[in-house]
Amino acid sequence: MRKVQLALLALTVALPMGASRPQTLPPSPPPATPPPFTGELSVMTYNIHGAPWPVAWDRPAKLASIATTLRVLRREGRNPHIVVLQEAFTQEAQSVGRAAGYRYIADGPSADMAGAAIPGDAHLAPSSSDFWMKGEGIGKYVGSGLQILSDYPVMEVHRVAYPASACAGYDCLANKGALMAAIRLPGYPVPIDVVTTHLNSRHASKVSDGRSFRAFRLQIACLTDFIRKRHSPERTLIVAGDFNVGRVMARRTALLTDAGTRWLANGDVLRDAYGAADKARIVLSSDALFSRNRAKDWVFYAPGQATDMNLLKIDVPFGHAANGSMLSDHVGYTAIFRLSHRSPTVTSFARSKASAFADARA
């Protein structure tokens, strides 16, 4: 999350005075019925930089442009079926989905949602004292900023706010956490689980790398605990968002270790979209290469026990304009998958495993 050095002071003064003049974007009627599902599923992740003034400037016009672009894509039949948003903090940002014509919208943890306990297997204590001048220990000024937008019905919603002690620096002003939506695709017997999150920043938190990395690792532990408790092995899993990894090897290792070995209880292989694109020699646009090399925004996926899932391509609806400008400080990219049913023999085994998982959760 991009923040100025005086963000804390500005927020404490400006927000109670209503300086941000929050508004909502005009809604656009969604389609009368969900679009037909042909086997191709498109999922976009986008940090829309919907922070309040004065942390971010001139956002309402750019947020309106994001909604307009999504409406145009919808008219052309090219809009992402599912969108996961980060930094949807303001009313304008939170209204992008309705303005773009999405019928189903799930919101992440609000500012007043209590934080979860640190998982017992985290093996990492939180920092011993708060740096209140850097935003720690003074409460949450905004919610998580997370949203999931969907053209298809949302059957279940689960949320978790990360522990109050599992944050560092100015990131603590937001009630960061994770959001899961179980989404039913037409013709599929079980929903798919879609998760989004936004992990602690590094430099933008304005605290030491060690302090921000400790918070980052605690948040990964909480995310892993959330996924393992809420995701059924029978279902397809997609986890996408702003993971704030960057080019820091320690952050990459921490994330990929948990994602690859702990998110899935049944030994399935979890892939990331850019890695799968490289392996399949899928040609990436310059904006996709920019996003991949920046390594902040990730899309992880696993097919589940009842489905086969392959990456077809990566599109970038929100990248650089001809003059080099962007509508956010992140690229918004879409992973497009082909989903198909597995054979009855395989799915029968999958259901027995899922039943055992449900019994274990009960």
Provide the CA 20 distance to its chain's centre, in angstroms. 25
117: tokens are 């306990």
Q: Tell whether 8 is covered by a domain.
A: no
How many structural domains is the chain composed of?
Answer: 1
Residue 308 tokens read as: 């086969």
Residue numbers of the domain that contains 112? 39-361
Q: For residue 330, tell me if it sits in a domain.
A: yes
pLDDT, residue 21, reads: 54
How many angstroms separate the Cα of 116 from the Cα of each of 110, 226, 330?
13, 10, 28
Distance CA 195, CA 290 (A): 23
Please check whether residue 105 is in contact with residue 98, taking contact to mean a CB–CB distance below 8 angstroms: yes
Three-class SS state of 229: helix
pTM, two decimals, is: 0.88
Say how far apart CA 39 and CA 61 lie, in whole Å: 35
What is the pLDDT at residue 354?
46
pLDDT of residue 65: 97
State the alpha helices, DSSP H only, in the chain.
Answer: 7-14, 59-75, 91-94, 96-99, 209-230, 249-261, 273-279, 286-294, 344-361
Q: Is residue 176 part of a domain?
A: yes
pLDDT value at position 93? Answer: 97
Q: Which residues are CB-neighbours of 347 under 8 A, at least 6 positions away?
A: 305, 306, 341
Residue 263 resides in a domain:
yes
Asked whether residue 76 is domain-assigned, the answer is yes
Backbone phi and psi for residue 333, each to the nearest 5 degrees, phi listed first: -125, 155
CATH number at residue 332: 3.60.10.10
Are 44 and 85 spatial neighbours (Cβ–Cβ below 8 Å)?
no
CA distances from 273 to 333, 337, 362 (A): 10, 10, 33
Residue 340, in any domain of the structure: yes
The answer as to whether 158 is a domain residue is: yes
Q: What is the pLDDT of residues 236-260, one digit of tens each?
A: 999 999 999 999 999 999 999 999 9
What DSSP character marks residue 339? E
The low-confidence residues of the chain, meaning pLDDT below 50, are 1-20, 346-362
**119 found inside a domain:** yes
259-317: per-residue pLDDT in tens?
Answer: 999 999 777 789 999 999 999 999 999 999 999 999 999 999 999 888 899 999 999 99
